[in-house]
Amino acid sequence: MIGAARSLRGLTIGFLCLFLMVTTLAGLGTFFATLSMINVLVDKRIAFESDELAPGGTDLPRGELARRIRELTSQRDTGDLGLLLTDAQGRTIVGNTRFSRRLPSGFSSLNRQDRIEGLSAGRVFVRDLHGGMRLAVFAETEPIDDYFSARKLIYIAGFGAIVLVVMIGLLLFRRLIGQRIEAMRTTVESIIDGDLSQRVPIVGDGGEFDQQAAAFNRMLDRIGQLVAEVRNVSNDISHELRTPLARLRNELALLEQRSDAEPLRDELALATAQADDLLGMFGALLRIAEIESGARRAGFRSLDFDALIADIADMVRPLAEDGSQRLIIGPCNAGTLVGDRQLLSQLLHNLLENALRHGPEGTTVRISADRDDHVVVMVVTDDGPGISQDQRALVLRRFGRIERRGSGHGLGLPLADAIARLHRGTLALGDARPEGGLKVTVVLPA
């Protein structure tokens, strides 16, 4: 609930609800305050007129009081006043109106239900006089008929226009903010995918958003420069060392073939194999760097992932047979996906070879794939020794190795992880079963 309120959409909805509530309360308060003020002013007037007709503390004769009422009703500026004098039995003595009900003493309100001609709303003041007489003075609170209803429409239209203008402005503001946030999010996702050349668009108005975008882009420029320097050092070392290593390997191979090298032939063969391992390691480093740059994404094509799994499994099956191991292809219902066939082949080959190479004799390796919620989920499991949870982050780093059977250079899993990330997917390590074994789960967009 709190997280939703902190989002841009949540804040917009929250502000709109608060604004509507405050505006509604302000409109209702203003309307009823105005209505109350009108009633107070009318009450003062009818109380004043009543006191002028029959001052408090005096007992005017009935005839004098009737004369005053007739004189007052004949005046032009009191045409909106209603006057009625009745006796103790409620019979009319003099007045210009009639009431359909007995009114209470003091102030009270009148409406259409009182059936007074020409009056839709008003206030009345009733006093008891000497001899059982009652004097009622009333006045309209509406200058024209149905003014109360018209006034409600005026308030609704006025405050409604304010609400509408604010809502439109807020929605436009949210759209502007949303576009800027979306532009930044798109840039960040491109950088995560390996494209460090992307930058946040700058409108050019010099505002706060442009200043923030410019600062963000300067930060990206600096990060890109540092990453490029580190990457170039690694690549340069790999490139520079591959050539002399290749020469060294060739020299060792030539020495091994000489007739006088028989006493050292085994040592030369071991040195040649070690040179091959070093060349393979530098080749893997360069391949990871190429994959992390994101350049291979431009060559993505639609491919049959199930068929690719079957091809790679057939390719590594002899390795399983040589090690007295089993390779089982489970249900494969992945269908097609978009990606680089060569790199996905490398990912499958690395995972299967890794499971077979590090597993003891009799190890069973299974691979399966399925499609779920627009993603392809591929799982490779084995019943070997597995990898403990505290070492899984280590083996996903370059040169991250643990001491076990068939330990290599520590680049197989990092290369597979880089290929998964290039395809905007994930690679995760887990337990194949409670008592051991490794489970590798690769999730790729379908």
Domains detected in the chain: 2-148 (3.30.450), 208-292 (1.10.287), 298-445 (3.30.565.10)
Q: What is the pLDDT of residue 423?
A: 84
How high does pLDDT run on average in the chain?
A: 79
Whether 29 has a pLDDT exceeding 70, the answer reads yes
What is the per-residue pLDDT for 369?
92
Give the pLDDT confidence score for residue 377 in this predicted structure.
Answer: 92
Tell the residue number behind the tokens 């409604």, with chain if given: 160
Q: Report how far apart the first and last C-alpha atoms of the chain are (Å, whole number).
A: 32
Structure tokens at 192: 């995560």
Tell whether the model's pLDDT for residue 294 goes beyond 60: no
Which residue has better confidence, 119 or 149?
119
pLDDT of 351-392, one tens digit each? 998 888 888 888 899 999 999 878 999 999 988 888 888 888
The token duo for 299 is: 């060559």
Q: Diameter of the chain by CA atoms? A: 157
Is residue 399 pLDDT above 70, yes or no? no
Which segment of 127-131, 217-221, 243-247 scores lowest on mean pLDDT?
A: 243-247
pLDDT at 78 over 50: yes
**d(Cα 247, Cα 236) in Å, to the nearest integer?**
18
Q: What is the mean pLDDT of residues 260-264?
A: 74
Q: Give the model's pLDDT for residue 159.
A: 75
Residue 280's pLDDT is 66
pLDDT given at position 367: 92
The answer on pLDDT for 279 being more than 70 is: no
pLDDT at 234 over 80: no
Give helix 208-257 / helix 265-292 axis angle, nearest 10°. Answer: 160
* Structure confidence at residue 307 (pLDDT): 92
Cα distances from 212 to residues 111, 183, 207, 225, in angstroms, run: 63, 12, 9, 20
Confidence of residue 2 (pLDDT cuts 50, 70, 90): very low
Task: Give the other-Cβ count within 10 Å of 94's Cβ.
Answer: 17
Tell me what pLDDT residue 239 has: 57
How sure is the predictor about 443, in pLDDT bands with cuts at 50, 70 and 90? Answer: very high
Torsion sign (Cα): 113, 119, 120, 124: negative
